[in-house]
Amino acid sequence: MSAVEVIMVALAAGAGAGVKDTASAAVRDAYGGLKVLLKRRISDDGAAQALDADETDPGVWQTRLGGLLTEVGADRDEQVLAVARRLLELVDPAGSTAGKYHVDVREAKGVQVGDHNTQRNTFS
């Protein structure tokens, strides 16, 4: 999994867990911390606002932030990546232990990472 994908998955996991009353303080803190770190890197007001809108409409921020995270260097920021990985460990301990969030797909083509995906390839 690329660094950007780790951040995006962590944001989605944090948004999903963060809106539940059962989320632990550690999950809420890690999620909030990740958003703060990302907002410091992002100067685009629309993208920063998208981080605040994530609980209500994940599709909005996923579309806006995907390329921007690479552009601002968040995918190379060890602190951002450490917080994202910690959040994933808290939300999905079994998946983290099994290495679910440490997939390397550099130079791969036609690959999907995640659960319950469907892919159709048409070659002509």
C-alpha pair distances (Å), 70 with each of 37, 44, 66, 75, 99: 14, 14, 8, 6, 23
The CB density around residue 80, as the number of other CB atoms within 10 Å, is: 24
- CA atoms of 39 and 35, how far apart (whole Å): 6
- CA atoms of 57 and 40, how far apart (whole Å): 22
pTM of the model: 0.67
pLDDT tens for 13-72 read: 887 776 566 668 888 899 889 999 998 888 766 666 667 665 555 565 666 677 788 888
